[in-house]
Structure 1
């Protein structure tokens, strides 16, 4: 717990006018929220996705997310 002097210092903190973000990394601390959902896939598609994911040593749900993100980026106008 902070004492009153420490809290007073934080309460009086002023932001600078400018910050240098040139060395920053966009999305460095971003973690997408996982939402449980159901998808109805054809069996041949599911087998393909599971095989591809197994070869890449990732979960097939991760593979689906990656494929959809790629598609989203290429279809943005």
Structure 2
């Protein structure tokens, strides 16, 4: 049977060529996590790997909104302490 196949023009490697800017990796995910992303992706009409990539990209972004600083924390604490009634009053 081996004589029936001609692999002289065959090439080793992935069937799908690598895309520029992307890396093929193997990652272990919990079954429930994978099921969640597959369900979400199907509802949105996109691939689950695309959805996982988008969520990972969001996680890379710096937090939005006001940043808590020492000065702002002190201000809030002063205001809250001033608003408290003294004990026994």
TM-score (norm 1): 0.53
The yes-or-no answer on 1:56 pairing with 2:33 is no
Return 5+ residue gaps in structure 1 as ranges: 1-30
TM-score (norm 2): 0.46
Return 5+ residue gaps in structure 2 as ranges: 1-18, 64-89
Q: Counterparts of 1:41 and 1:32 in 2: how far apart (Å)?
A: 25
Moved >3 Å (runs of 4+): none
Higher RCO, 1 or 2 (CA under 8 Å, sep at least 6)?
1
Q: Counterparts of 1:50 and 1:74 in 2: how far apart (Å)?
A: 26
Q: Counterparts of 1:71 and 1:62 in 2: how far apart (Å)?
A: 14
Correspondent of 2:28 among 40, 46, 57: 40
